[in-house]
Amino acid sequence: MRLIILSINSNQNSMANLKDRRTFLKTLGGAAAISPFISSSSFAASLPNYTGKKLGIALVGLGSYATRQIGVALEETEYWKVTGIVTGSPEKIPAWKTKWSLKDENIYSYENFDKIADNKEIDVVYILLPNGLHKEYTIRAAKAGKHVICEKPMANTADEAEEMVKACKAAGVKLAVGYRLHFEPFNMQAQKWGKEQTFGRLDYIHAAFAFKIGDPKQWRLKKALSGGGPMMDVGIYCVQAARYVSGEEPISVTAQYGPITDKERFNEVEESVSWQMEFPSGTYMTGWTSYKSNTERLHASGPQGSFDLSPVFGYGPLKGTSRLGPMDLPIVHHQRAQMEAMGPMFLSADPIPSHCSGEEGLRDMKIMMAIFEAAKTGKKIKLG
């Protein structure tokens, strides 16, 4: 099998991080001991004992995330090999071609992308394009008979995400979403605490993720390409955290847009948004995201204590503390942990685990669309 990726870089600390991750997993007795995100068999397979043929992966889009994160993750992987790239920037081709010894016929443009259907060296494509292009290239990849990993958010709208899920099912290919924090020790520990009710049933969760956006001409500020502003970009991490820490799905949302302080920059997307979610057990969540501040925090509390992680959603190093004391966990390269765990998922005949499947991405899209509706109308939106 083969997978295509669109970016590359180096990481001097990669091997140390990978060793830390393996030690962490072995100490806890496998992933099943900390999170239902990943099965113990998947994690066992991700340890350094796989000697089979690597999956061929093609990266669609060679932007900074492909270059600085996913490409780096694939440099020391047990399961993957970059066997193709898809790019509209010819100047990026030489470095990728040299790094991965790519064949000329495995280098695609967006115009001839569909020809990957004839390429037996490509098993999976990783969609690393702006959000507004996720649907098109996921569906084109599915029709070409290739499995798909799509970055989150999955699409611009819930309807688009649903089309992607249906297209992959119809084509008989797998669809995964790049939820890197599902494979990161600090977030996995937070999820475990919530699931096991270490501090009692959680009654309150707060999550915030914001950063000061730069270039006013970038795609994130164009609604056709982004689907929205900070909510779609980084607010999704807060929605995800509330869901995997509570272990429940929200039943209603309310939301409020923040003031626009830069009308020229934010003439298409929101500058900030606050929202509140209610869960079946009574857990209440407040969230906030913005393009005009720098913060990332996850707090959860119950009758027997609380925990705080900050920073928690970025690339780290992550930190956290709880009533039990400081969180002493390994610092890992998030995307490497993600790709190592996803390797066995694509080698297996089983469906992609629900926590990182297309259906999971669709659930997030429905919640975020409800948040936008609540902020626009001022009404409580019920979720079914």
pLDDT for the residue 177: 98
Portion of the chain with pLDDT greater than 70, in percent: 88
123 plus 211 within the same structural domain: no
Position 43 confidence tier, pLDDT thresholds 50, 70, 90: very low
Question: Is the CA virtual torsion 42, 43, 44, 46 positive or negative?
Answer: positive
CATH code of the domain containing 86: 3.40.50.720
Q: Residue 34: is its pLDDT beyond 70?
A: no
Catalytic annotation, pick one of 146, 152, 174, 366: 152
Question: Is 152 assigned a catalytic role?
Answer: yes
194 plus 241 within the same structural domain: yes
CA distance 32 to 34: 5
199 plus 234 within the same structural domain: yes
47 plus 92 within the same structural domain: yes
141 plus 242 within the same structural domain: no
Q: Which tokens is 170 given? A: 């119809």
13 plus 70 within the same structural domain: yes
366 plus 217 within the same structural domain: yes
pLDDT tens digits, residue range 89-121? Answer: 999 999 999 999 999 999 999 999 999 999 999
Q: Residue 233: is its pLDDT beyond 80?
A: yes
CA distance 317 to 336: 15
**96 C-beta neighbours (distance < 10 Å), count:** 23
Residue 287 lies in a domain: yes
Q: Which residues pair with 4 in a beta bridge?
A: 57, 125
Mean per-residue pLDDT for 123-149? Answer: 98
Residue 337 lies in a domain: no
Question: Is 237 assigned a catalytic role?
Answer: yes
Mean per-residue pLDDT for 133-159? Answer: 98
Between 48 and 93, the more confident residue is 93
326 plus 218 within the same structural domain: yes
Residue 83 lies in a domain: yes
pLDDT tens digits, residue range 281-336? Answer: 999 999 999 999 999 999 999 999 999 999 999 999 999 999 999 999 999 999 99
Q: Residue 86: is its pLDDT beyond 70?
A: yes
In degrees, to the nearest 5, what angle opens at C-alpha 376 toward C-alphas 373 and 369?
Answer: 25
78 plus 30 within the same structural domain: yes
Q: Residue 178: is its pLDDT beyond 70?
A: yes
pLDDT for the residue 384: 85
83 plus 167 within the same structural domain: yes
pLDDT for the residue 359: 98
Position 37 confidence tier, pLDDT thresholds 50, 70, 90: low
DSSP string, 31-90: GGGT-TTS-HHHHHHHSTT--SPPEEEEEE--SHHIIIIIHHHGGG-SSEEEEEEE-S-G
pTM score? 0.89
pLDDT for the residue 50: 85
Q: Residue 47: is its pLDDT beyond 90?
A: no
281 plus 262 within the same structural domain: yes
pLDDT for the residue 8: 29
Last residue in a domain, options 140, 161, 181: 181
pLDDT for the residue 49: 77
Catalytic annotation, pick one of 179, 237, 257, 291: 237
Between 186 and 40, the more confident residue is 186
Q: Write down the mean pLDDT value for the chain.
A: 90
Domain that holds residue 308: 185-331+354-382
